[in-house]
Amino acid sequence: MTEFKVVEKFISINGEAVRAGELSVFIRFKGCNLRCNYCDTLWACEDGAEYSLMNTEDIYEYIKASGIKNVTLTGGEPMLQEGIGELLQRLGSDTDLRIEVETNGAVPLTDYYRSVPDNVSFTVDYKCTGSGMEKAMYLPNFEGLRSIDTVKFVVSDIIDLDKAAEVIEKYRLSEKCPVYLSAVFGRITPEEIVEYMKDNKLNDIRLQLQMHKYIWPPEMKGV
């Protein structure tokens, strides 16, 4: 059975997207194919990051023992883990669970949209210009989005907001699924984003704050 490299597992509130504020079990996987210049989990992406090996049943049992229904698979980049499809099928076969995969927008998802169970959703990031990683975005991911998925634009400044507005319009994203604008903590204020939304009449788009960074110290792990 495939073994996954897990650098952290814990229970906390979901800080982002549709289930923000609800309890969730987090499984954080090692490794990422991007290096965003604002990354707050770079330690999990590095070759030398310490990890535990867990197979599918280990992860499932950890989740069930927690008594929590929401599951957040994150990283690093979880969709790079060998065997991730098998894990999504296994977790999704338990209809008591709601599995959210936080993915960086640079890994093709089209086949997964079609094959994963309905209780498995993707929160797909779009890393804007300010991240330094925009060229890596895999835009066909926006074609097959389902209503249970989410798109999140991570914005540093007004240039990023302009790009977000352009991509939302081009792919008609707000007609497909919930769409969020998420501030890079410390680079742009929520007020600036709200002003932009007002000025540009961004209907059906939501501001997202990284809730855990307001509750705990921004650099704190395991929350």
Q: Where are the alpha helices (DSSP H) in the chain?
A: 42-45, 56-66, 84-92, 110-115, 158-171, 190-199, 211-215
Among 6, 17, 36, 168, binds ligand SF4 (CB under 6 A): 36
Which helix (H) or strand (E) segment holds residue 180: the answer is strand 179-183
* Smallest distance from ligand SF4 to CB 132, Å: 9
Pick between residue 128 and residue 202 the one whose CB is nearest to ligand SF4. 128
Q: Which of residues 85-144 bind ligand SF4 (CB under 6 A)?
A: 104
DSSP 50-111: --EEEEHHHHHHHHHHHT--EEEEESS-GGGSTTHHHHHHHHHT-TT-EEEEEE-S-S--HH
Binding segment toward ligand SF4, per CB under 6 A, in 34-42, 85-93, 108-116, 162-170: 34-42
* Smallest distance from ligand SF4 to CB 5, Å: 14
Pick between residue 2 and residue 41 the one whose CB is nearest to ligand SF4. 41
Helices and strands: H and E segment counts in the chain: 7, 9
Among 25, 27, 45, 181, binds ligand SF4 (CB under 6 A): 45
Pick between residue 76 and residue 130 the one whose CB is nearest to ligand SF4. 76
Q: Residue 163: exposed, middle, or buried by beta-carbon count in 10 A (0-12, 13-18, 19+)?
A: middle
Number of residues this chain uses to bind ligand SF4 (CB under 6 A): 11
Q: Would you count residue 75 as binding ligand SF4 (CB under 6 A)? A: yes
Please tell me the distance from the alpha carbon of residue 107 to that of residue 110, in angstroms, as a whole number: 9
> Which residue matches tokens 């604008």?
181
Please tell me the distance from the alpha carbon of residue 130 to that of residue 151, in angstroms, as a whole number: 17
* Smallest distance from ligand SF4 to CB 215, Å: 20
Binding segment toward ligand SF4, per CB under 6 A, in 31-39, 64-72, 82-90, 110-118: 31-39
Q: Would you count residue 35 as binding ligand SF4 (CB under 6 A)? A: yes
Among 2, 12, 41, 174, binds ligand SF4 (CB under 6 A): 41
Residues near ligand SF4 (CB under 6 A) are 32, 34-36, 39, 41, 45, 75-77, 104
